[in-house]
Amino acid sequence: MAQREPQTSEAWLGKMWDLYESLESGNANLAPTPGTYALMILSLLRTPADLQSLCPFTYKELLSRITVREYDIKRVVSDRVISNEDGPQLIKELSRAAVQLNLPSLVAELGETHAMATVQADILDTVPEVRPVLKDVVTKSEDGTEETTTKEIPFNLDNLRRHLAQINFARRVLPDDLAARQKLLEESVYDVAVERLEHEAAILNNIGVGSSFGRDIRQWMWDWHTKLKVRLEEEVKNIQKLEALPAKRGTRKIRNDLSQYLVLVRPERLSLITIMEIMRLQGSGGVSQGMKTTRALIGIGRAIEAEYKAQMCKKNNIALPPLKHSAEPGYFSGLGYKNLLERRVVAARHIMDSEAWTSNWTQVTRSQVGGLVIDCLMDVAKVVRTALDKATGQVVSEEQPAFYHTYEHQRGQKLGVIRFNQVLAEAMAKDNLRTTLHPRHLPMLVAPRPWVGPESGGYYYNKSTAMRYKESVEQASYLRHASDMGNVELIYAGLDVLGSTPWVINQKIFDVVLEVWNSGEGLGKLPPAVYATPDPVCPPDASPKEKALYLYNLKSHSQEKANNHSKRCNVNYKIEIARSLLGDKLFQPHNLDFRGRAYPIPPHLNHIGDDLSRGLLKFAERKPLGERGLRWLKIHLANLYGYDKANFDERVQFVEERLDEIFDSATEPLTGRGWWKKADDPWQCLATCFELHEALTSDDPLAYASSQPVHQDGTCNGLQHYAALGGDSRGAQQVNLAAGERPSDVYTYVANMVELQIVKDVESGNPAAIMLQNKVSRKVVKQTVMTTVYGVTYIGAREQIEKQIRAIDEFKDADSWMLSSYLAKAVLGCIGDLFSGAKDIQNWLTLSARLIARAIPEERLPEALDEFNRSKQIKTEYLPVDKLKKEQLTSPYRKTKRKQVMTKVQTVYISDPNLASEVNSMKQASAFPPNFIHSLDATHMMLSALECQTQGLTFAAVHDSYWTHACNIDQMSTIIRDTFIALHSSDVLGKLREEFAERYKNYKIPLIDMKSVSLIKALKTSGVQVKVSKRQAEELSLLESILVVDNAKTAVTEVETTEEDKQQMLQEVSGLEDFDEELEEVVDSELLDKAELAKKEKKKDQAKAQMKLLGKFVTLTDVLPPVPKKGDFRVEAIKASQYFFS
């Protein structure tokens, strides 16, 4: 008998996997059981590292096969072969695999199993649930005679809570694997929605509510989804067949080449996106019980495009070079900048090799894709409508389309709309489906991906853009070009610094907020659960004026009531998100707007938000206070309370005199005396009370490790930049650029100036001045003063002031329009007198923008003339993205063109951002000054962020409010001043004018575009003079005030035009067919007086004078106004100003 050879571990392991594969293949007429999978997973866990290569399957592959066989994962992990010691580790490995397979429901199930099997405490175990906002849901009985009202969580909030619940389960099983949890955090909201709808539909069917009678919105949506995905799958196949036919057979035009877009997303996702988006758009655009067809087509097309790109982004798990260490060269050294550029180039090249990306879809493609899926939805989506037959008394049911297409007239135009069936619209009124919250809008659990390109950075599995722009092809192209040239490395580095700041939820604040929220009370700017203000009452015998006032108050009351509900929902989001992230370290990825201002991408809970959001967040890193840090913490508390106009010593004294109140607030925030509740920023004030109390009651207050952010805020920062640009000594004193013993308050100063003006007007008997005397406070004028530098108009100022006046009880029933009109003029006049330097610079920026917006390249002169000839057709429709000129791209303001597009639903007119369109010179001019100042404060912030990173400081910012640890405030204050001086020592306006002159050196302005009286006056005031010949001076009488005769050199270029062209242009300019004949008719008429005759004569002369301007151009650089003369203030003086930022 032959002796058996001894078996090694390798041999036994191989045989075990062979046996498993035999079961899996079905060759043994047997199938693996849950116990089989438990055994195989356990063998993976226990196999030594040196033998792992012998295991042909991974956790991911085994889990995939378990799901294919639809085995309950709980049965697998609870099998008897798995010990209590192996269970937790095995669940972690399977959870990682579930994340890789994009199966969030399995992660949740494993988390539940882990929670039941482990005794390890989770931070949320002792935290109460958040009381959700509830909506009243009214249901009718079958015969329609009775109504019952129940409470229900709104759809979007319910969706968020379910998603956050999955994240909480993931934390239980993957507490240390932040990368896997981050991937789960970014998974698409559509996956969550599918599982929820499917689960609820199954429950309804199980309890016998699966018939068509009595269905709710969610069940309808699930039915539509199951039918639509099948219909879309068939439709895509039919389109592919049609497109394969020869052209002579005649495929339908609207379907040409659509399959390449429709196959990008699975039918299941196409179906759900269509349903979710059309429900979200209900009631939008001023259409009740429906939406505009164009809005629906574009919106759904864009959503499908975004989902495809998100899916593509998930495939690219790209490893990027690490961030710069503080020991390396600074950002502003040549070597430091070179390192930034090399890091980005290497990472970008790696991305190009592994990222399958696509160009943006056109509006035409979006509308046609949207039209196709909506057409399919309208075909398959049905609802059952019931009514009581009055003749028979029986309930009659009928299946009807859920959506239908029709037309309505608005403002004299025929408008295509998609309407909801009446029964669906009524149900929607009870369950408002607003924008569903995408998980990518949550803070991150790991440091954001470093920015290495315009669309490469921030989130790991979802597309993020470095700049926010609204469908601006020009801005996107400009950013890509600048990025390719290596000109935005410091911008990318600054975004990385802002995003790398770690945060945590302040649990003490959260506990108080949650208690107040669940009680339903309104406290600390938290809106109450029940809006208690009674409805206004109309007097019995009201006069017309009283009735008008009543209607106004009723409208305001209804709006405030709706706002209260909206605020409750908003706060509910914040609290739910904060609860789910308790105990975790958070990161806020940032991007920019086109001005350079940085914003956190997660919108619902970030430090740039309201007082509640800021109070809930604190730095994850702690640093010892030290003597200076403790002083700054006290100053910070005084600022938050509202005592911020005193000097620093007085602020410290203010806090020290109220330590008893502060300690009471910290120990009994809700049951004590509530000193913190009276603060300007109550939740931030309470957070600082907690921090100061802990520090002062510790063994060594100076050694206490603090994590409370402390702020340094600019004093009306826009005016600070204007004063520095213009060297305005008087303005600099008012905004704390110049040193002073006490902080200046520009708002109080302006209010006092207005009061002096009111006293003068009272003497002349002005009724508005009489009513307002001694009533103008700092608060009334603050917003107008703050926004003046950002281009607020008289109308905007009047509206701002009217809002403040209505808040004063004494003026509640007064003529607020009259009072606000008077006060707006007074405030704007005082600001102009106080900040004359700022006004000069603002006028210079506006005038420069007006001229540039009217300028065109020299090579376009013939085309510019042809624009007067309406018979000429534009040959090209699109500007190639790679050939876009850089001119006039400072701001994204253009006159949009509409284009006709045929879709399956209707012919629509869309505004396509890809179409070449004319610059909107008015918007461009009015927006340029505030945008330029915003870009300066953004630059100052970025420079400060980079320098803080180099010096090892934690840094966060809210535009002109800079945050760091209390112990580092002095160091950050030095950095803020140094970067501000560096910025304004570089002759900003002079360099800007040089850039204008270089960029637009060959640009011409048609003289016909300079005929405006206001423009000519502005040019004259700024000192612009145009050299012309004597003959030209005689012809150009309209521009007489800015002309200088110089026969040796003329700045005006003339282009030959035919007499026919001139006559055509003349008609365009004047609107008169034949001046001489019309004038004769006027003379012969005895019905018109001499004044009317003179008016006609003047119009004729003006038209002839304007005709002389046609065909003539002036070089832009010859009329570009000089930079306003700078005053005597020197920016270096801010080093001596302790209240510059405070």
3-state secondary structure of 1026: strand
Closest CA to 94 of 72, 81, 77: 77
Distance separating alpha carbons of residues 728 and 746, to the nearest angstrom: 14
Exposed/middle/buried for residue 515 (C-beta within 10 Å: 0-12, 13-18, 19+): middle
* Residue 960 falls in the annotated catalytic set: yes
Distance CA 673, CA 665 (A): 7
Q: How far apart are CA 1006 and CA 1008, in angstroms?
A: 5
Q: What are phi and psi of 965, to 5 degrees?
A: -70, 155
Joined tokens for residue 56: 């042909």
CA distance 1126 to 310: 51
CB 275 within 8 A of CB 221: yes
Contact, 636 vs 688, CB < 8 A?
yes
Task: Specify whether the CB–CB gap between 443 and 503 falls below 8 A.
Answer: yes
Taking residue 214's Cβ as centre, other Cβ atoms within 10 Å add up to 13
Q: Which of 574, 623, 782, 1108 is catalytic?
A: 782
Separation between Cα atoms, residue 722 and residue 732, nearest integer Å: 9
Find the farthest-apart pair of alpha carbons in the chain and give their distance in angstroms, rounded. 140
One-character DSSP codes across 937-998: HHHHHHHHHHHHHHTT---EEETTEEEE-GGGHHHHHHHHHHHHHHHHTS-HHHHHHHHHHH
Phi, psi of 447 (to 5 degrees): -60, 135
Give the three-state DSSP class for 299. Answer: helix
Q: Enumerate the H helices of 26-129 as residue ranges.
A: 34-46, 59-68, 73-77, 87-100, 104-117
Nearest-5° Cα angle at 1121, 1116 to 1124? 155
How much helix, strand and coil, in percent to the nearest 5, is found in the chain? 55, 10, 35
| Cβ(86)–Cβ(43) below 8 Å | no
The per-residue DSSP string of 562-591 comes to HHHHHHHHHHHHHHHHHHHTTTS-BB--EE
Instruction: Report the alpha-carbon distance of residue 732 to residue 736 in Å, rounded.
Output: 6
Closest CA to 24 of 15, 13, 33: 33
Q: Would you say 1141 and 714 are in contact if contact means Cβ atoms under 8 Å apart?
A: yes
CA angle 179, 447, 302 (to 5 degrees): 80
Calpha distance 904→907 (Å, rounded): 8
Phi, psi of 453 (to 5 degrees): -170, 170
Question: Residue 434: enclosing H or E segment and its boundaries?
Answer: none
Per the CB < 8 A criterion, the answer to whether 965 and 623 are in contact is yes
DSSP state of 915: B
Residue 271: CB partners within 8 Å, gap ≥ 6? 224, 225, 228, 229, 232
Q: Which of 216, 375, 593, 713 is catalytic?
A: 713
Is 1095 an active-site residue? no
Active-site choice (79, 664, 728, 960)? 960
Of the candidates 744, 748, 747, the one whose C-alpha atom is nearest the C-alpha of residue 736 is 744
Known catalytic residue: 713? yes
**Structural element, H or E, at residue 792:** none
Q: How many helices (H) and strands (E) does the chain have?
A: 43, 29
What length does the chain have? 1142
The token pair at 168 is 């909480």
Helix (H) or strand (E) holding 187: none
Active-site residues, by number, are 713, 782, 960
